[in-house]
Structure 1
Amino acid sequence: MDQRADKVYRSPMDSGKNSCVGYLARLPRPDQHGTFLYACGIHAMGLQGVIHFVENNLAKLYEEVRTRRFSMAIECDFAPEGHQVTATRGLTPLYRHDEA
């Protein structure tokens, strides 16, 4: 759920499409000593999409957020045969947590 935009995202896979949604964030550690990178998908393909997005956008992500906290939803497309990720894109803006 994108609370800033008040929008709920669901996986297009659930409707038979070859795309899925994932989540990427740098969050505070539970012990409050630093941060950690968190990645997940609604389905396994969503996580693969997040990994693909990071692999292909790492320099830009770092340029935008450095080591600050952020979060964003990512959508990926994948090939029906072999389930290889073919494209990824930000589904939400890159939200900087220090701007909330």
Structure 2
Amino acid sequence: MSHQIEVLDLLTDLNRARGTTVVMVLHDLNMAARYAHHLVALSAGRVHATGTPAEVLTTENVRAVFGLDSRVIVDPTSGAPLMLPIGRHHMAAPVAAGDRMG
């Protein structure tokens, strides 16, 4: 995990210092939302959604693309959307006012 964060931080540094555009494929939705300015969600090889992390990482898109129920809240560290998957053995807790992003 520490190496993953180190690489993502390095890419962010390069982007800021040199204005370099970075294109990457991440399957960790939370890391993608935390580090990217623009996301593209693909489903069956087609673009399902594109936009800012808050526009793309929504409960509706996670369900449509991955067939997974989830809760999307605001990451208290970065302010980015944070997706919390809901498995069969976990019940969704009520959403507190101000927590929901979509």
Question: Which TM-score band (shorter chain)?
Answer: under 0.3
* Greater strand fraction, Structure 1 or Structure 2: 1
Please report the TM-score for the alignment, with normalisation by the length of structure 1.
Answer: 0.25
State the structure with more CA Rg. Answer: 2
* Greater helix fraction, Structure 1 or Structure 2: 2
